[in-house]
Amino acid sequence: MFRTEITVSTSGRGFYSLDEALNAAISQSGISEGLCHVFLRHTSASLVVTENADPDVRLDLAHFMSRLVPDGERHYRHHMEGPDDMPAHIRSVLTQAETTVPVQSGVLGLGTWQSVFLWEHRLHSHQRRLLVTVF
């Protein structure tokens, strides 16, 4: 088993591919066949496995989520860090904080059009910490 922490710098709301960083962690682990588990140590971002070829897929997902969970709703009680604070928490609960991907031949065993993304739900930049375990 191998464990490391990765820090991802975000520049605000959007999708950030993790494939390169995860493949580097897998390479560092020396494990060629197994599983790569990723856990996000935050409550206002999430992890998703989705389409990597057409960026319109991610734009459509963001548009859908913004309609489902709009910023600045007056009925939210928690707004300590601004109008995107509570919506970011809701969006993270509706998605996921962890994911597991097979490791095959020393790299992520993703499908042709798949990538692992950190989905930043806040409007401003953040440093997001991910615990990566390869076994």
| CATH number of the domain encompassing residue 84 | 2.60.120.460
Element of type H or E holding 6: strand 2-10
| Helix/strand/coil for 22 | helix
CB-count exposure of residue 71 (10 Å: 0-12, 13-18, 19+)? middle
Mean pLDDT of all residues belonging to the chain: 96
**7-20 residue pLDDT tens:** 999 999 999 999 99
Angle between the N-to-C axes of helices 55-68 and 85-94, in degrees from 0 to 180, rounded to the nearest 10 = 120
Residue 30 has pLDDT above 80, yes or no: yes
pTM of the model: 0.95
Read off the pLDDT of residues 86-134 as tens digits, 9 standing for 90 and up. 999 999 999 999 999 999 999 999 999 999 999 999 999 999 999 999 9
pLDDT at position 58 over 90: yes
Mean pLDDT of 46-58: 97
- The answer to whether residue 81 scores a pLDDT higher than 90 is no
Number of independent structural domains in the chain: 1
Cβ-Cβ contacts under 8 Å for 74 (sequence gap 6 or more) = none
Q: What is the pLDDT of residue 7?
A: 98
Write out the residue range of the structural domain in which residue 43 sits. 2-134
- Cα–Cα dist 1/31, whole Å: 8
Give the model's confidence band at 80: pLDDT under 50 very low, under 70 low, under 90 confident, else very high: confident
